Amino acid sequence: MNNGIVYLSVLLFVIACIYPLQAASVPPIAGFSYEVNDYDITVNGSLSYDPDGFITNYTWDFGDGSIAYGMEANHTYASEGIYEVSLTVKDDEGMMNSTSHTIFIDVTPPFTTYVPVPTPNGKNGWYVSNVEIELSAIDNISGIKSTYYRIDGNNWSAYTEPFILTGEGEHLLEYYSIDVSGNAEMVKGVEIKIDKTAPHTIFNISTQAENGWYNKVVDVVLMPSDNISGVNKTFYRIDGGEWKEYAGNISVGEGIHNFQYFSVDFAGNSEMPKQQEIKIDMTPPEAKIYPDEGIYLFGRKLISSDTAIIIGNITVRAECSDNMAGVKLVEFYLDNSLRKVDDEAPYEWEWNEFSIGQHEIKVVVYDAAGNEATGRQDVFIINMKY
């Protein structure tokens, strides 16, 4: 029994020496790198290996029906698209393994559009409000990687979401996109014009007023200004009449007038109508002097006559009126010598000095506009008062 066991052990040892146990086979590892240049792709399977042997075959499938062999291969695609490139490797024991990569044949840059929100809401391509800047980019192959923009030549910024442009003036928005394949779009530009401010119009009359009144026809000059889009038109009307377009100096005659005016800029902003009162009085006041022809005794008229004869003191009176600007003051003269200035009715001067002989009394009446009228009377007076 013991001899049998020994014999069997020796036999097994001899067999083991002649036929050593073999380990189980391991499949190869497939791996590759690639470079894409326009429509061309270069693949390299050097990342593949076999842990227990060596690779005997490299088979490439470029995803468009084309097959190639070898550790390295080149291929040119006929058109843009998304392709699945796969590599299958076989080792010396006939075992195989595969791997694949998705590649983009993308030679077309993306396309970016500017979407104005709102659309120009003024006139002549102008906005009269803030503008929301929204950019929309598309790329049909590899997709959008980044979109960039800048305003008025400043630094480029990455676009992530719509933003508000508030500054008035004429702006240049530039923008472009880059896709995942690295294709860069040509820079695009669009002009964005914003004018939110109405024009400003200045009213002017070159003639100087007196007490707020003019005593001759005046020329009204309107001077509009707008620092952004510029003045398009200016309008005016007088005393609630029809609005007219301003084309130059406007002549305004006698009366108390309500002059209204406003301007509109090229963006469509309209100035609130302004108004100015223009008071013009070109008619002299009425002036009449008392005493007139007659015989007077201590200021009392006794009878009418062809001349004025005064005995004793007398009150010289200006009987005057003015229907527009109103009487401002009256000057009393004796023989062209000013004796009194009176600015309140009744307009009177008490002549009570010693006087004998022929004299001229005169009143000069001024209205508030500067018009004047004169009243004269030659008198013979006997006044013995010292």
Model confidence pLDDT, tens digit, residues 336-386: 999 999 999 999 999 999 999 999 999 999 999 999 999 999 999 999 875
Q: What is the DSSP string of 95-127?
A: -EEEEEEEEEE--SPPEEEEEEES---SSTTEE
- What is the band of 21 on the pLDDT scale with cuts at 50, 70, 90? very low
Q: What is the mean pLDDT of residues 91-105?
A: 96
Residue that is last in its domain, among 260, 280, 300:
280
Q: What is the mean pLDDT of residues 255-275?
A: 97
Residue 18 has pLDDT above 50, yes or no: no
Residue 318 shares a structural domain with residue 367:
yes
Strand pairing report for 274-280 and 244-245: unpaired
Q: In the prediction, which pLDDT does 19 show?
A: 46
Residue 145 shares a structural domain with residue 170:
yes
Supply the mean pLDDT for the chain.
Answer: 93
In a domain, 98, yes or no: yes
Q: Count of alpha carbons within 13 Å of 104, Cβ hemisphere only?
A: 15
Q: Which helix (H) or strand (E) holds 317?
A: strand 314-321
Q: What is the mean pLDDT of residues 11-23?
A: 50
In a domain, 7, yes or no: no
Q: What is the mean pLDDT of residues 18-36?
A: 79
Residue that is last in its domain, among 194, 225, 252:
194
In a domain, 246, yes or no: yes
For residue 80, the Cα-to-chain-centroid distance in whole angstroms is: 45
Q: What is the pLDDT of residues 104-130, one digit of tens each?
A: 999 999 999 998 777 788 999 999 999
* Percentage of the residues of the chain whose pLDDT score is greater than 70: 94
- What is the band of 13 on the pLDDT scale with cuts at 50, 70, 90? low
Q: What is the mean pLDDT of residues 265-287?
A: 97
In a domain, 88, yes or no: yes
Residue 138 shares a structural domain with residue 184:
yes
In a domain, 118, yes or no: yes
In a domain, 26, yes or no: no
Please state, in angstroms and as integers, the Cα–Cα distance from residue 263 to each residue in 1, 132, 237, 268, 273, following that order.
Answer: 131, 28, 12, 10, 8
In a domain, 13, yes or no: no
Q: Quote the domain boundaries for residue 333.
A: 286-383
Residue 299 shares a structural domain with residue 378:
yes
Residue 276 shares a structural domain with residue 345:
no
Residue 179 has pLDDT above 90, yes or no: yes
User: Count of domains in the chain?
Assistant: 4
Q: In the prediction, which pLDDT does 11 show?
A: 54
Phi-psi region of 240 (alpha: psi -120 to 50; beta: other; left: phi over 0): left
3-state secondary structure of 47: coil
Q: What is the mean pLDDT of residues 281-308?
A: 95
Residue 256 shares a structural domain with residue 290:
no
In a domain, 378, yes or no: yes
Residue 55 shares a structural domain with residue 69:
yes
Q: What is the pLDDT of residues 185-229, one digit of tens each?
A: 999 999 999 999 999 999 999 899 999 999 999 999 999 999 999
Residue 151 shares a structural domain with residue 70:
no
- CA atoms of 139 and 107, how far apart (whole Å): 11
Residue 204 shares a structural domain with residue 153:
no
Residue 269 shares a structural domain with residue 319:
no
Residue that is last in its domain, among 176, 194, 212:
194
Domain CATH for 135: 2.60.40.10
Residue 378 shares a structural domain with residue 291:
yes
Residue 241 shares a structural domain with residue 264:
yes
